[in-house]
Amino acid sequence: MQFPPTEDISEFMYTCAAIDKMKGIVFAHLNVCSVSRKLDEIRILLEKSHLDFLFLTETFLNESINDAELAIPGYHFIRSHRRNREDKKRGGGVLLYYGEDYVIHNCVMTCSNLLESIWVTVSLPKARPIELCGFHRPPGASYDLSIDEMHSQLSTRNISPAVDLLLLGDCNIDFMSRSNAKTKLSNFLKLSNLDQSIKCPTRITTRTATCIDHVYSNNIDLFANAGTLQTGLSDHDLIFVCRKKCKIRKAKVSICIRCYRHFDSDLFSHDIRSTDWTDVTLATDINIASIAFDRIFTGLLDKHLPWKRICVRAPWISNEFLSLIDARQYHTRQFNLCPCQAHFEARRQSHILVQQMKNKLKRDYI
């Protein structure tokens, strides 16, 4: 399959960089359609864009997937998935990743047939707190009952006018349509003094283009910068919104390693031979000899192999793999612009190539 030129396929990385440069706190949501097999790409997304809060819905999580598998450096997470559901079907689930520098409390998770959600209160320095919610309405649920459930959850939170309210999620109601469901939703938003910020399609197929992923807020001026990002991770676009100011910059996750750039093995061997080791050879106690050896040898290492700090990313990720992710993003964008069979097939093939390359790199590394 032919890939487009580099200047065309790097839009995903440039968009992530643009999000990172936003002067504010960035919240995002993505219907990921199974998080476990896409966790590596999600790590790259968070590494490149430095999103502050990311909600993932339709995670398909269950009790067999432990917390260690979901951990991402620099982030805490809260998970909610279906338990003891009558239908026992695979699906649903909400997962929230948030920067480790943020303080949240008053966390409530709900998982019903009508609405799945995670509610948290975000405390900010020198600013009003944010009542934050990530939600997913199952497509088979009654829209009347689901909207009533959302209204009930809002009432339960007992939100004061001095708190900023923000909800992101997959509502499965097309906000660009003229359906009864859209009318019911609009009436609910008007009654709750909320505005919907996403105005473009968030899920595009060969036959439809629908705006079913939404951002609701009670302060449209504060949460004015909202939009979509085509990640290629699922058939939904990622939606994001930026709260002005008060951004807490997360320290990049880094480690210290020895630098081999100017290492000269011959000079290192010469220094080892010419070093005075009498403190080691003449020691009468093995513990004293060990301490002396560590001190002398560590001094030589620091001289020839000084420490340096580097940012951490998955060690198996290669530039070729990142290029394939860019190519997948390019074909996803082409399909969204022109949803024909040829672009659909190119997008499908790019998904397969990313998965095959990821499996090969991880297998070779392990």
Domain ranges of the chain: 6-244, 254-311
Amino acid at 356: Q
Which pLDDT does position 12 carry in this prediction? 60
Partners of 27 in beta bridges = 53, 241
Q: Are 123 and 92 in contact (CB under 8 A)?
A: no
CA distance 173 to 187: 13
Amino acid at 152: S
Which pLDDT does position 5 carry in this prediction? 38
Which pLDDT does position 181 carry in this prediction? 94
Phi and psi at residue 137, to the nearest 5°: -100, 115
Q: Reduced to 3 states, what is the DSSP secondary structure of residue 305? A: coil
Q: Do the strands 53-57 and 24-31 form a parallel or antiparallel pair, or are they unpaired?
A: parallel
Which pLDDT does position 277 carry in this prediction? 92
Buried/exposed code over 250-265 (b: 16+ C-beta within 10 A; e: otherwise): beeeeeeeeeeeeeee
Sign of the Cα torsion 302, 305, 309, 312 reads negative
Amino acid at 101: D
Q: Is domain 6-244 in CATH 3.60.10.10, yes or no? A: yes
Angle at 106 between CA 102 and CA 111, to 5 degrees: 110
Sites in the chain below the pLDDT cut of 70: 1-15, 83-90, 245-253, 311-315, 365-366
pLDDT digits (tens, 9 = 90+) for 70-122: 999 889 999 998 765 444 456 789 999 999 999 999 999 998 889 999 999 99
Quickly list DSSP for 41-68: HHHHHHHHH--SEEEEE-----TTS-HH
Rounded to a whole number of angstroms, the distance between the first and last alpha carbons of the chain is: 29
Determine the longest span between alpha carbons in the chain, in angstroms. Answer: 90
Quickly list DSSP for 136-162: E--TTS-HHHHHHHHHHHHHHHT--TT
Buried/exposed code over 304-314 (b: 16+ C-beta within 10 A; e: otherwise): bbeeeeeeeee
Say what the pTM is: 0.70
Amino acid at 102: Y
Which pLDDT does position 4 carry in this prediction? 39
Tell me 37's DSSP state: G
Which pLDDT does position 55 carry in this prediction? 97
Q: Are 213 and 175 in contact (CB under 8 A)?
A: no
Q: How many CB atoms lie within 10 A of CB 366?
A: 6
Which pLDDT does position 53 carry in this prediction? 96
Q: Are 23 and 61 in contact (CB under 8 A)?
A: no
Structure tokens at 267: 């000079």
Which pLDDT does position 3 carry in this prediction? 37
Q: At CB < 8 A and 24+ separation, what contacts does 150-156 make?
A: 150/115, 150/188, 151/188, 151/191, 151/192, 153/110, 153/115, 153/117, 153/119, 154/192, 156/108
Which pLDDT does position 2 carry in this prediction? 35
CA distance 343 to 335: 5
pLDDT digits (tens, 9 = 90+) for 147-199: 999 999 999 888 887 789 999 999 999 999 999 999 999 999 999 999 999 99
